Amino acid sequence: MFAVAAAVTLAMASHGAHAAAKIKIGFLPGVVDPFYQVMQVGVEAAAKDLGVDVVTQVPPTWGVDVQTPILDSMVARGDLNYIITAPTDKDQMIGPLKAAVDAGIKVITVDTFLGDGDYVNGPVKFPISYIGSDNTEGGRISARGLAKAIGGKGTVYINSTNPNVSSVEGREKGFKEVMDKEYPNIKVLGPDYNLDDPNKATQQTAAVLEREPALAGVFGTNVFSAQGAGAAVVNAGLGGHVQVVAYDATKLAIELLNKGVVTLVLAQKPYDMGYMAVQFAVADAAGVTSLPRRVETGFAIINKENVTDPAISRFIYQV
C-alpha cells in the first residue's frame, strides 16, 4: 500500500500534479456509518493536502434506490470531474455509473466494486481503479479466527447485510470456503440479510440462538451485522460462550472485545482508501496513465492481546 502511495506521489511530481489542475471530486459512499465516516476523513485530508475541492453526499440508508438519485444529482451539477464511490450493488450500479462516465466524469470505486472487480479483463472496465479490502481474504481470516476460538468444531452462523454487494459477498465466500476446506467439523448456517439494520441483525441472531442452543459462534460481516449479533449474544447472557467475530473496528466492537463477547475484530483501512482515491484522481488529471486498476489496502487483525498496542489500535475507527 505504501509502495503504491509512494509511486503515485512520484508519478504526480513528475507530471507536475502538485500544481493540481483545478478538479472537483464528488464523494458518494454507501451509507452513514463509522467506516465511511473514517473514509471521508481520509478523502478530506487528501483534498486539503492536494488542493482540490470535494463535494460529499452520504446516502442515509443502503441501496440502489437511494444511491442512484444522489449520483444522478451529482452528475447533473455539471461541475464534477471525478466521482469516488462505493457502489451499493455490483450489477445494478453499473448503468448509473456508466451514465456518469458518459457525461464526462471519471469514476473510482472504493470499498466495493462493480462486476467482478477486474477492471482490466472483467466485464466492467470503465472505472479508473478499485481501492479497498481483499474481502474474500478478510472472510478467510475471520473464519480461521472463529474456528480457533471454538476449538475447531460446532455450528456457526453468518449475519450479513444485502446480497450482491461485492464486499460482504466476498467475506461470506471466503468464510465458507475456509470452513468447508479446513474445518470439516464446523457447520455453517446463514447468511441472513439484515439490510444494514442492526436491530434486524439482533432479532435474526436471537432467533438462531433460540433455534440452535449449541451455537458456538457468529460472524458479523460488517458494522451493523457485528453490532446486532453482539447485542443478541449479550442479551441472551451468552457472552464468552458464543464467540463473535466482528468485521469493522468500531468503538462498539472494541468494547465488546474488551468484555470478552467478541473474540476478533477485523479492521479495514477506510482512511487509506479515501486518501488514495483522491490521490488517484489528482494523478489521473495530471496525465498519469500507470495507475493500478486494483489496490488492496490490507487489514489490522485486533484481538484482546494486541488491542492496546498503538501500532494496532490506530486502526480503530475513531469517529
**Contact pattern for ligand T6T over residues 137 through 176, marking x by CB under 6 A:** ------------------------------x---------
Residues 49-78 that bind ligand T6T (CB under 6 A): none
Cell numbers found for residue 293: 486498476
How many residues form the binding site for ligand T6T (CB under 6 A)? Answer: 13
223 touches ligand T6T (CB under 6 A):
yes
Find out whether 143 and 179 touch, Cβ atoms under 8 Å.
Answer: yes
Tell me how many degrees the CA angle 55-17-14 measures, rounded to the nearest 5. 155
Cell numbers found for residue 101: 462516465
Least distance (Å) from ligand T6T to the CB of residue 167?
3
315 touches ligand T6T (CB under 6 A):
no
Tell me how many degrees the CA angle 204-206-210 measures, rounded to the nearest 5. 120
Nearer to ligand T6T, 167 or 279 (CB): 167
35 touches ligand T6T (CB under 6 A):
yes
Nearer to ligand T6T, 71 or 285 (CB): 71
Nearer to ligand T6T, 81 or 222 (CB): 222
Q: Fill in the DSSP letter of residue 116.
A: T
Please name the amino acid found at residue 70: I
Residues 269-298 that bind ligand T6T (CB under 6 A): none
Least distance (Å) from ligand T6T to the CB of residue 10?
29
36 touches ligand T6T (CB under 6 A):
yes
Distances (CA, A) of 2 to 95, 191, 290, 292, 297: 33, 35, 16, 13, 9
Using CB under 6 A, pick the residue from 85, 222, 243, 279 that binds ligand T6T. 222
Largest CA distance in the chain: 63
Q: At what angle do helices 270-285 and 34-50 cross, to 10 degrees?
A: 40
Least distance (Å) from ligand T6T to the CB of residue 247?
6
Find out whether 271 and 39 touch, Cβ atoms under 8 Å.
Answer: yes
- Residues of this chain that bind ligand T6T (CB under 6 A): 30, 33, 35-36, 111-112, 167, 222-224, 247-248, 268
